[in-house]
Amino acid sequence: MPVQIDNINNTIILDVLREIGNIGAGNAATSLAKMIDKKIDMKVPIVKVLEFDEVPELLGGPENIVCGIFFKIEGDITGSIMYIMDQKSAINLVNLLMPRENAEFDEFTISALKEIGNILSGAYVSSLSGLTNLKITISIPALAIDMAGAILSVPAIHFSQMSDNVLIIQNEFIESVEARKVDGYFFLIPDLDSYEVLLGSLGVTL
């Protein structure tokens, strides 16, 4: 039977995820700032619980072109992580690393997005591991640029085994000098067997 997130002591889960979001975003902003040698500000992460069919609208509609960076999770829990940005945020993120006149998704941009996505997701995994005392690692990143509906179709099928809802952590990073903004959405999708392990480590009993 699928796990209904909104029926599992929602307050506890959201409080813990906000803490993960705050710590993860702080770590990610610090890592990104070191990588580009610029100051990075961030807004307080927003944690949302949505039905999965509502997520494409959050990303600008199912036909809006977005960039998705995908990782497999291994260790004490298994599953996947996805970090999604719209095209403008993706280009801004790459331009923070190396400003260019022609903004396009060429080989350099894709390589840079994978590397930066690896840093951002690694920061979250490190935060999650520290709060849960679970050993968690992530795979080499895979990147897709496609319509939001297409990119979300794979995690939607996977996540529907556990819940009709999904927990989303929204982040906004701002480069302080030129005010380039990166708005992204972080999805943590544990496998079915790992979901109970993860919640148990956070003090939530199913």
pLDDT in tens, 13-62: 667 667 776 777 778 788 878 877 878 888 877 877 777 778 888 888 99
Q: If residue 166 lies in a helix (H) or strand (E), which one and from where to where? A: strand 165-175
Asked if residue 32 is part of any domain, the answer here is: yes
Q: Domain for residue 146, yes or no? A: yes
Element (H, E) at 196: helix 192-201
Q: What is the CA radius of gyration of the chain?
A: 16
In a domain, 94, yes or no: yes
How far is 119 from 62, CA to CA, in rounded Å? 27
Range of the domain at 102: 5-200
Token pair of 35, please?
A: 């990588």
Of the candidates 36, 52, 55, 2, the residue with the CA atom closest to the CA atom of residue 196: 2
| Phi, psi (deg, nearest 5) at residue 99 | -60, 135
Please report, rounded to a whole number, the percentage of residues in the chain having pLDDT higher than 70.
80
Name the pLDDT band for 75 (thresholds 50, 70, 90).
very high
Does pTM surpass 0.85?
no
Q: Is residue 205 part of a domain?
A: no
Among 108, 86, 69, CA closest to 181? 86
What are the pLDDT digits (tens) for 182-200? 888 888 777 777 777 877 7
Q: Is residue 43 part of a domain?
A: yes
User: Which range has the top average pLDDT, 66-80, 146-160, 172-186, 187-201?
Assistant: 66-80
Token pair belonging to 97:
């690393």
Total number of domains in the chain: 1
Q: Is residue 110 part of a domain?
A: yes
CATH for 45: 3.40.1550.10
Instruction: Examine residue 206 and state whether it is found in any structural domain, yes or no.
Output: no
In a domain, 107, yes or no: yes
Across-strand partners of 47?
Answer: 169
Q: What is the DSSP string of 175-192?
A: ETTT--EEEEEEEEEE-H
Angle at 55 between CA 184 and CA 179, to 5 degrees: 20
